[in-house]
Each structure stands twice: as C-alpha cells, then as structure tokens.
C-alpha cells in the first residue's frame, strides 16, 4: 500500500547531542535537549526508524531531536531523518546546539562559538612516543592518514556563519560565580575573560582526550588542514556534517557550542582533577542557557532572512 501522507516540512532542525534519557546513570546529568522545550511549543512528535529519539516539532516548522553522543550516533540520526518520508528537510537549516571544551588561550567558560570549520581528530596515524624509531618520531608521534581519500575537514557556509555570529552577538550572556572562580585558576588572558560570542574551528573526536600534550598534537593536525586555531572540542559535528554533505545540504548547516570546560588542567592541577572535577553544574547551567539564547536568536534570523542563504 502506498503511503499518501504528506511529509512534515521543517524550516529549522535543532540538533543537541544528548538528553538525560540517553544515559542509564543514577545521577543528575546536564540535558542539552530539555531547555529547548520551554523555548518553543513542540506540540507534535514523530518517530523515525534509525534516529536516536523522536523528532519533536512545532506547528510552524521548528524541529528538535537529540542525535546521540558521538560521530556514529550523529551520522545515523541525521541520515535516518533525511532519508525518511515523514519529514521534508529539503529547505531546512540544521543547527547543532550543545556544549564543548576549549583551549584556555582561545576561549572561556560560558562563551559560545559558531563553527566555521570542522576537523576530524580521529582519522590519522598515531603511536606511543616510546615506539618512535627516530628522535623526530619520538618527539612528534603522529602524522596525517597516508591513504586518506580526502582531507578530513569541512568548511561551512561563510555567509551563514557571519549571519549567525551577528545574531549571537546581540545576546546578553549569563555568567556564574563558579565559572568565575574556576577560570581564575588559569593564567591565560582568554581563559580569564568574560564570556563572549565568537567564531572558530571545532575539533571533532570520539575520543574524549585531555591535556596539553594531546592539545599540541591536535593543533598540529588542524594546522595541517589549514583550518586556523581550534576553538572548541566536541564529539558529533563530523558525523552530522558528513550526513548532510552526502545529501547535498552541508551549506545549510551551523554548529553553535557553549564552553563548559577547558581542554587541559591549570598549573598545579592533575589531569584527573581537571577531567572529572573541572565542570560544575552551575557552569553547565549558565552555559546551556547561553547556547539556547544564542541559538534562538539565530533561529529567528534564519526564519526571517534564511532565503538569502539558499544559494
């Protein structure tokens, strides 16, 4: 029997990585998804086979779903939605909205970054320094993936990114006492600054790495792809971008990430302390509020002037 149901047309699809229900843990976890439910009236929902959770949507074309955490999960969810007959996303804009880490010489807690380039950290050659056969290999234990079919970097729509930055800069950002106290442990000017909205490269990885040594290697990889200085670290964008690119929709994609942690410890702090205790709930709450405020300003602008970016 032929399905004659008209597909649901979306103008914007918001893509947080995770909702609290994605985790089977007995603790209060941050939720990138939940805050949006009080921002728009998501009266409707529809399930799509292969997606992480149902897609919730308003009567006037704004949708939201959490992709799941990590590149495979993000790619699977976005692909499932784009391939489904339930939704028409051919004229939609796609906006990742979530949290991220940052280098302390680039950003600070509570800041929001709009991504202009996405680099994949996982696809490379890397070995333990002790296994290097030469001094150069021991000092620099990684290299680009030698038989890659293409460079693992995506550059996003410059005009769309510029619009998103301008819209985001109109938002007054929240800060918190916990964020202020924590950032003051760092000596870098960027880490100690007030939260702001800016543009930068994001480094995407399924590995939740941490520490200055790996950060130096990460920047080397970004330099090899001529992608500037990485501003955020996260786990989904390469999967989302790959799915959108395969469907010819990459030029309609934005990534908006708020900073909740630094990617290395401050002087005198251990790696474990920084990794496991470096993010407080107060910082998460303030940053997620900033992501929602900036993201909503961007959605408003897309719905008002999105036709300008339709190519």
Q: What is the pLDDT of residues 30-53, one digit of tens each?
A: 788 888 999 999 999 999 999 999
Distance CA 138, CA 133 (A): 7
Residue percentage of the chain with pLDDT more than 70:
94
- Please say whether the beta carbons of 274 and 107 come within 8 A: no
**Is the per-residue pLDDT at 22 higher than 80?**
no
The strand pair at 112-120 and 253-262 is best described as: antiparallel
Position 137 scores a pLDDT of: 87
Residue found under tokens 């949006």: 36
Res 20 pLDDT > 70: no
Residue in 44, 71, 59, 57 with CA at minimum distance from that of residue 238: 71
Nearest to 200 by CA among 66, 286, 308, 100: 100
1 pLDDT above the threshold of 60: no
DSSP code string of 35-46:
GGGGTS---EEE
Region 8-306: CATH code: 3.40.50.1580
Report the distance separating Cα 68 and Cα 15, nearest Å: 9
What ranges make up the beta strands (E) of 7-151? Answer: 8-9, 12-15, 44-46, 55-57, 62-64, 87-88, 93-102, 112-120, 124-126, 142-144
Interatomic CA distance for residues 264 and 218, integer angstroms: 12
Average pLDDT, the chain: 92
Given this model, what pLDDT does residue 247 score? 97
| pLDDT tens sequence across 81-104 | 999 999 999 999 999 999 999 999
Q: How far apart are CA 36 and CA 296, in angstroms?
A: 9
114 pLDDT higher than 50:
yes
pLDDT tens figures, 228-246: 999 999 999 999 999 999 9
Q: Are the C-beta atoms of residues 70 and 235 closer than 8 Å to each other? A: yes
> Between 1 and 297, whose confidence is greater?
297
The yes-or-no verdict on residue 64 having pLDDT over 60 is yes
**Number of alpha carbons in the 13 Å side-chain half-sphere of residue 151:** 13
User: Which residue matches tokens 């702090």?
Assistant: 269
Residue 48, helix vs strand vs coil: coil
Residue whose C-alpha is closest to residue 102's, from 292, 250, 298, 287: 287
- Per-residue exposure over 181-203, b if at least 16 CB sit within 10 Å of its own CB, e if not: ebbebbebebbeeebbbbbbbbb
Query: 10 Å Cβ neighbour count for 131?
Result: 9
**pLDDT tens figures, 140-183:** 899 999 999 999 999 999 999 999 999 999 999 999 999 999 99
Residue range 198-210, pLDDT digits in tens: 999 999 999 999 9
Q: Provide the sign of the torsion angle of the four alpha carbons 185, 229, 222, 133, taken in this order.
A: negative
- Stretch 128-134: mean pLDDT: 89
Above 80 in pLDDT, residue 23? no
């Amino acid at each position: 029997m032929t399905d004659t149901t008209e597909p649901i047309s979306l103008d914007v699809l918001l893509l947080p990585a995770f909702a609290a229900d994605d985790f089977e843990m007995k603790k209060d976890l941050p939720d990138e998804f939940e805050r949006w439910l009080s921002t728009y009236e998501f009266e409707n929902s529809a399930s799509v086979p292969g997606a992480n959770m149902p897609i919730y949507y308003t009567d006037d074309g704004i949708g939201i779903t959490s992709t799941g955490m990590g590149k495979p999960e993000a790619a699977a969810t976005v692909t499932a939605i784009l391939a489904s007959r339930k939704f028409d996303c051919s004229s939609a804009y796609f906006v990742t909205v979530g949290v991220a880490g940052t280098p302390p010489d680039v950003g600070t807690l509570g800041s929001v970054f709009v991504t202009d380039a996405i680099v994949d950290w996982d696809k490379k050659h890397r070995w333990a320094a002790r296994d290097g056969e030469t001094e150069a290999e021991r000092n620099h234990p990684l290299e680009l993936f030698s038989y890659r079919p293409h460079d693992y970097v995506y550059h996003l729509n410059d005009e769309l990114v510029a619009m998103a930055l301008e819209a985001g800069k109109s938002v007054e950002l929240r800060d918190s006492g916990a964020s202020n106290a924590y950032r003051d442990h760092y000596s870098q000017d960027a880490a100690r600054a007030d939260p702001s909205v800016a543009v930068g490269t994001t480094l995407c990885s399924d590995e939740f790495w941490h520490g200055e040594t790996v950060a130096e290697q990460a920047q080397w990889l970004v330099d090899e792809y001529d992608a500037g200085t990485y501003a955020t670290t996260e786990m989904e964008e390469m999967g989302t971008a790959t799915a959108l690119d395969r469907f010819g929709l990459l030029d309609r994609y934005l990534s908006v990430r708020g900073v909740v942690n630094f990617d290395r410890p401050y002087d005198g702090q251990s790696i474990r302390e920084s990794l496991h205790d470096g993010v407080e709930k107060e910082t998460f709450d303030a940053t997620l509020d900033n992501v929602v405020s900036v993201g909503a300003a961007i959605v408003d602008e897309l719905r008002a002037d999105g036709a300008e970016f339709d190519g």
